[in-house]
Chain A
Amino acid sequence: MAPASYVILFLFLLTTGALYVFALNAANNRAMPVSLIEIFFQFVMFFGFVLVFPLLTMRLLAEEFKMGTIEPLMTAPVSDWAMVLSKYVAALVFYIFLWAPTALYFTITRWVSNVTIAESSGVYWTAYGLVFMMGMAYLAVGLLTSALTSSQVLAAIGSFSLVSILFYFGLLAGITSPQLTFFRDLLSYVSAAEHMNDSLRGILHLRAVVYYLSVALFALALTHRAVQYRRWRL
């Protein structure tokens, strides 16, 4: 694991740990019965969540092009698809590795306190399922921006912007005129906030899954295209 990965892991655990403590406090003090998992994920999603993706993906290809290590990589008998997918899977595995400890927070809390953690155990699955689906989509977008430049900074700016747009775009649904039904529906279909609210009630719509998978596949196909172009000029 690269030294930078330890830094990311440390920052991630620090942030989610702090947010968890805040969430615990909030859950204890609230008059309304809101579950802990709900508060925690609301906090996380709107506090630095989109930053995770540039951090995890900016190095992946941009750094290889910059340092020239792309040359031994591309002259190994490995197809461009295999190269793109292995980078992607590596990022996804690290992403899961980042989130795994947060599940532990909940487990420990259940042992030592009687706060309402979740309405039902299904919420764990839908909440973490959604986090995973978002990871699949946004990491693919991050990988794409990393394939387009040799500068980590540009890759990070690019993926931060794209992921932010995808993530916050759905919020426009709230300010769209009710007459534009189709547009409103479309926005809610792709709205990360809506997906999250659903998932925290134990619902993970098939259309949300399809949406995130489509984004992932599309971004991966474009990444492959970009790599092919940079390499073969086709």
Chain B
Amino acid sequence: MIKVENLTKKYAGVIAVDRVSFEVSSGEVVGFLGPNGAGKTSTMRILAGFMPATSGKVTIAGHDVFTESFQARRRVGYMPENVPLYSDMRVFEYLRYRAKLKGVPRRALDERLADVFEQCGLDTVRNRMIGTLSKGYRQRVGIADALVHAPDILIFDEPTIGLDPAQIRQMRELIRGLGKRHTILLSTHILPEVEATCRRVLILSKGRIAAAGTVDTLVGGFRAAGGLFTEIAGADLQTVEKALREIQAVRDVETREMDGGWGGYTMRVREGEDAREAVFELVKSRGWKLRELSSRGISLEDVFLDLTES
């Protein structure tokens, strides 16, 4: 459905997207994950036909987004980052205008609008001025706009940014529901987001695809590089943290103060190595106390940090 080959985007010398290639097949829900500035928005804007690529080729349902922009755009429902809307229009008025603009035939208009209002839970704000809506509702108006011409491909740029936890949950439910009948590409820089909604993930870092695959395979591939949690007492936190960092297999330590002189240390361990024995030896040689030492399953977060930090 979406095919991206060697996509490159430069802004006045800055390379925002660097030879990116990927495919999204029909019915998939794919998460586009990357820290701020990774090039997610640039890529999606090109996919949505808002701006041209510097080089490379993108096709949507077989249509080139540059040479057959019009046909490609008909197939795509796009929600831009931060959802720009006309604040002096009413919700219903806006969505009706958008539906007409996107070529929904007059006789299908009422039914189509009723559908998206219901799907996005907008009935209660039907006559509200868009400028007075909360962030959560603005976001839903953006989704409704993307859906209104019944496209089969949806592209959402940061659909949950700026929402509170309850709204995030509702948004996830909504996207999960849409995933049953649409091909979706959504971007986010928040991890639980993709784990909750997407089957496949593309990790973008500094304009390049750093990894791609299902959440399971990505995590599986990094199985060896796990995490380790330990609780130690007998010295101040900095001393212990410093000593743990000196263990060869440990690449990162996060320290948390606990009651009674104890400290909790979460370590990230280098790929293919095990630090448990070294930690025990360290505690024994210094004469500290140890009350917990456990391996932690690796999370997508570890993979993400690993790929995007170095």
Which residues in A have some Cβ–Cβ distance to B below 8 Å?
2-3, 67-69, 71-79, 231-234
Contacts and interface: CB of A to CB of B under 8 A. Distances in A.
Contacts of B85: 69, 72
Contacts of B88: 2-3
B145 interface: yes
Nearest to B72: A77
A234 B101 CA distance: 25
Contacts of A231: 50-52
A68 B80 contact: yes
Contacts of A76: 73, 98, 101-102
B101 A75 contact: no
User: Which secondary structure characterizes the binding site on chain B?
Assistant: loop
Interface string B77-89: 0101010111010
Residue in A71, A73, A74, A232 whose Cβ sees the most chain B Cβ within 10 Å: A71
B84 A69 contact: yes
Contacts of B145: 72
24 contacts: A3-B88, A67-B84, A68-B80, A68-B82, A69-B84, A69-B85, A71-B45, A71-B50, A71-B84, A72-B98, A74-B49, A74-B50, A75-B78, A75-B80, A76-B73, A76-B101, A77-B73, A77-B74, A77-B149, A78-B101, A78-B102, A79-B70, A231-B51, A233-B52
Contacts of A78: 101-102
A71 B145 CA distance: 13
A3 B88 CA distance: 8
Contacts of B52: 231-234
B76 interface: yes
Contacts of B102: 76-78
Nearest to A73: B101
Contacts of B76: 75
A79 B102 CA distance: 11
A1 to B, nearest CB: 9
Q: Please classify how large the interface on chain B is, using the bins under 10, 10 to 19, 20 to 34, 35 or more.
A: 20 to 34
B74 A75 contact: no
A77 B103 contact: yes
B48 interface: yes
B200 to A, nearest CB: 24
A113 to B, nearest CB: 41
A114 B24 CA distance: 77
Nearest to A82: B101
A68 B50 CA distance: 11
Interface string B102-138: 1100000000000000000000000000000000000
A76 B148 CA distance: 11
Contact of A71 (B71, B80, B86, B149): B80
The 6 nearest A-B residue pairs measured at CB: A68-B84, A77-B73, A77-B74, A75-B48, A71-B80, A69-B84
A233 B55 CA distance: 13
Contacts of A68: 80, 82, 84
Contacts of A232: 51-52
A222 B237 CA distance: 68
A187 to B, nearest CB: 43
B145 to A, nearest CB: 7
A175 B103 CA distance: 54
A232 B80 CA distance: 18
A230 B82 CA distance: 21
Contacts of A72: 78, 80, 84-85, 98, 145
Contacts of B82: 68
A3 B103 CA distance: 27
B52 to A, nearest CB: 5
A75 B79 CA distance: 9
Contacts of B86: 69
A2 B86 CA distance: 10
Nearest to B101: A76
A95 B101 CA distance: 22
Nearest to B52: A232
Nearest to B85: A69
Contacts of A67: 84
A68 B52 CA distance: 17
